[in-house]
């Protein structure tokens, strides 16, 4: 089997709460991997640590512990230029295309700036700009226009083109369509699909909208209060969710398929996600879990493989 492009092992990112001096355990021991050409969804409620995890992987937040391994190299063993080069292979697409593009730059200038950083010789830049725009479904004629003249969907395409200018191995997109009109969301999601297929880029898609992730992602991680509680292919997760949290999360999201929608169990997710400064002992979901038992407070459930590649961290899932 080909090794993954990106592997994250036991990543921990804590923050110090300014007011109360408490520790916010935003990411608390997360392991995941991405294969080349694969789109992986990262889902979970607001505040569960998805952005902190994404930002830690791209170096915008500093992990307290854990390893980030790109193409077999642990990034913590690199320094200076080698670290910068490795980091440029992991690109981040921000949620808000309005703040991520400079309004005073033309699209061509924004892309050229990225190509300069990527070290592309001047003579090859204009052809590369046209190629990048083509990859994201924009005409080359858009290059002289300013960011402020574009729609949200077009701006997000430019932001993706700018990330592609660095020839990334991995794209991490944190809620890349949630600031866009409903009508263009699916188009931008399809773009990730095309890029992973055509360029072999591994994509981690962080999203609230389960219907969109479900369409785009082939594999998924479900996160709850700083930890991964379930992972599996889309067929495994959506067809046979095993963790009570995944079940509740999926049950609260409508399915695009009318048959599945009729069969969808209505077990709503009740209550608020607990504070990451003081997570419950044992299983973090136990305070909201409909099938909680006494042991759940004492034991942190390890991930159990229920089928190849399908793992759920619950004491009461059975293998097979």
Q: What residues make contact with ligand ATP under the rule CB under 6 A?
A: 15, 24, 26, 44, 46-52, 276
For ligand ATP, which is the closer residue by CB, 23 or 126?
Answer: 23
Q: Which stretch binds Mg ion (CB under 5 A): 47-55, 116-124, 242-250, 291-299?
A: 47-55
Q: Give least dist CB 266 to ligand ATP, A.
A: 23
Q: Give least dist CB 165 to Mg ion, A.
A: 25
For ligand ATP, which is the closer residue by CB, 134 or 272?
Answer: 272
Rounded Cα distance between 147 and 98, Å, is 8
Name which of ligand ATP, Mg ion, none residue 15 binds, using a CB cut-off of 5 to 8 Å depending on partner kind: ligand ATP
For ligand ATP, which is the closer residue by CB, 18 or 263?
Answer: 18
3-state secondary structure 152-198: HHHHHHHHHHHHHCCCCCEEEEECCCCCCCHHHHHHHHHHHHHHHHH
Number of residues that bind Mg ion (CB under 5 A): 1
- Reference 188, options 158, 227, 233, 225; nearest CA is 158
- Reference 11, options 43, 59, 45, 47; nearest CA is 59
Residue, CB closest to Mg ion:
51
Name which of Mg ion, ligand ATP, none residue 147 binds, using a CB cut-off of 5 to 8 Å depending on partner kind: none
For ligand ATP, which is the closer residue by CB, 14 or 125?
Answer: 14
For Mg ion, which is the closer residue by CB, 49 or 108?
Answer: 49
Can you name the residues that pair with 219 across neighbouring β-strands? 40, 233
Can you name the residues that pair with 49 across neighbouring β-strands? none
Name which of ligand ATP, Mg ion, none residue 193 binds, using a CB cut-off of 5 to 8 Å depending on partner kind: none
Is residue 115 a contact partner of residue 195, using CB atoms and an 8 Å limit?
Answer: no
Rounded Cα distance between 286 and 294, Å, is 9
Q: Which helix (H) or strand (E) holds 10?
A: strand 6-16
Q: Which helix (H) or strand (E) holds 235?
A: helix 234-239
Q: Give least dist CB 97 to ligand ATP, A.
A: 16
Q: Give least dist CB 46 to ligand ATP, A.
A: 3
Q: Give least dist CB 163 to Mg ion, A.
A: 18
For ligand ATP, which is the closer residue by CB, 53 or 202?
Answer: 53
- From the number of C-beta atoms within 10 Å of its C-beta (0-12, 13-18, 19+), residue 211 rates as middle
Q: Give least dist CB 98 to ligand ATP, A.
A: 17
Name which of ligand ATP, Mg ion, none residue 150 binds, using a CB cut-off of 5 to 8 Å depending on partner kind: none
For ligand ATP, which is the closer residue by CB, 15 or 98?
Answer: 15
Q: Give least dist CB 104 to Mg ion, A.
A: 28
Is residue 286 a contact partner of residue 248, using CB atoms and an 8 Å limit?
Answer: no
Window 48-77: residues binding Mg ion (CB under 5 A)? 51
Q: Give least dist CB 247 to Mg ion, A.
A: 23
Name which of Mg ion, ligand ATP, none residue 201 binds, using a CB cut-off of 5 to 8 Å depending on partner kind: none
Ordered alpha helix ranges (H), 39-177: 50-58, 80-88, 97-100, 107-117, 122-135, 152-164
227-233 and 304-307 as β-strands: parallel, antiparallel, unpaired? unpaired
Is residue 304 a contact partner of residue 230, using CB atoms and an 8 Å limit?
Answer: no
Is residue 24 a contact partner of residue 15, using CB atoms and an 8 Å limit?
Answer: yes
For ligand ATP, which is the closer residue by CB, 164 or 210?
Answer: 210
CA atoms in the 13 A half-sphere facing the CB of 29: 7
Q: Which stretch binds Mg ion (CB under 5 A): 28-36, 46-54, 177-185, 301-309?
A: 46-54
Which positions touch Mg ion (CB under 5 A)?
51
């Amino acid at each position: 089997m080909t090794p993954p492009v990106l592997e994250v092992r036991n990543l921990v990112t804590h923050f110090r709460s300014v007011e109360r001096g408490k520790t916010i355990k935003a990411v608390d021991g997360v392991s995941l991997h991405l294969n080349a050409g694969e789109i992986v969804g990262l889902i979970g409620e607001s505040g569960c640590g998805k952005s902190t995890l994404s930002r830690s992987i791209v170096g915008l937040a500093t992990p307290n512990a854990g390893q980030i391994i790109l193409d077999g190299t642990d990034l913590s063993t690199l320094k200076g230029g080698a670290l910068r080069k490795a980091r440029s292979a992991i690109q981040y697409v921000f949620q808000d295309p309005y703040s991520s593009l400079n309004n005073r730059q033309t699209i061509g200038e924004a892309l050229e700036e990225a190509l300069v950083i990527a070290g592309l010789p001047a003579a090859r830049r204009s052809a590369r700009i046209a190629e990048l725009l083509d990859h994201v479904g924009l005409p080359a004629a858009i290059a002289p226009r300013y960011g402020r003249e574009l729609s949200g969907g077009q701006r997000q395409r430019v932001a993706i083109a700018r990330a592609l200018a660095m020839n990334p191995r991995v794209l991490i997109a944190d809620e890349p369509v949630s600031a866009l009109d409903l009508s263009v969301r699916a188009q931008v999601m399809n773009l990730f699909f095309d890029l992973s297929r055509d360029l072999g880029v591994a994509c981690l898609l962080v999203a609230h909208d389960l219907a969109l992730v479900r369409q785009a992602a082939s594999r998924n991680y479900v996160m709850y209060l700083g930890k991964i509680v379930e992972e599996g292919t889309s067929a495994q997760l959506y067809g046979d969710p095993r963790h009570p949290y995944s079940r509740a999360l999926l049950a609260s999201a409508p399915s695009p398929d009318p048959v599945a929608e009729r069969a969808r169990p209505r077990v709503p997710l009740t209550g608020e996600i607990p504070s990451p400064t003081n997570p419950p002992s044992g299983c973090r979901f136990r305070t909201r879990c409909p099938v909680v038992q006494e042991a759940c407070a004492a034991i942190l459930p390890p991930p159990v493989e229920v089928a190849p590649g399908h793992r759920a961290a619950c004491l009461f899932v059975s293998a097979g």
